[in-house]
Copies of this chain bind each other. A is one copy, B any other.
Amino acid sequence: MLYFEDYAVGQKSSFGSYHVTREEIIEFASKYDPQPFHLSDEGAAGTHFGKLSASGWHTGAMCMAMLVENMKNQQHASLGSPGLDELLWKRPVHAGDTLRVETEIIEKRRSASRPELGLTKNRIRVLNQNDEVVMQSVNVGMVAVRNPAHTD
């Protein structure tokens, strides 16, 4: 199991391979974001999306799926996340794209009120098969501390 003590500022990771299908874009958008540019090529023509594009919340969810898979592979002791900042949807995500994730730890600190809890701030980038960033954000992650009694 990897705990708060095992992570260092500056540490980078690269992982994931999520193939985006037309069916999944339309299924997600039909339920959660039924705007025309997320439902059909016709609805996206004439907008800056150009053709059918995934909902930004769908891209975030696909990113999360890759993050969770990576945490499981790493045996990362995740306790969830209080939130995120500076989320930008930089380019449309289209059917046929394959997404991947790059992360970097930019800050870490122990919780002041909960000794068993550590917080890491992570820069997250989602890239497509052309190495173009489609989404980026700064996420806070809560992770278990291995030795809560240690205060260093």
Check if B81 sits within 8 Å of A89, measured CB to CB. yes
Check if B80 sits within 8 Å of A35, measured CB to CB. yes
How many copies altogether?
2
Label chain A's interface by main secondary structure: mixed
* Bound-state Cα–Cα, A91 to B137, Å: 21
Interface residues of A in 75-95 (CB under 8 A from B): 78-89
Q: Which of B48, B55, B78, B89 contacts A64 (CB 8 A)?
A: B55
Check if A65 sits within 8 Å of B31, measured CB to CB. yes
A124 within 8 A of B: no
Check if B33 sits within 8 Å of A61, measured CB to CB. yes
Q: A28-B61, A57-B57, A83-B88 are in contact. List 10 more A-B contacts (CB 8 A).
A: A33-B65, A35-B68, A35-B71, A37-B80, A47-B79, A55-B61, A82-B88, A83-B86, A83-B87, A85-B87
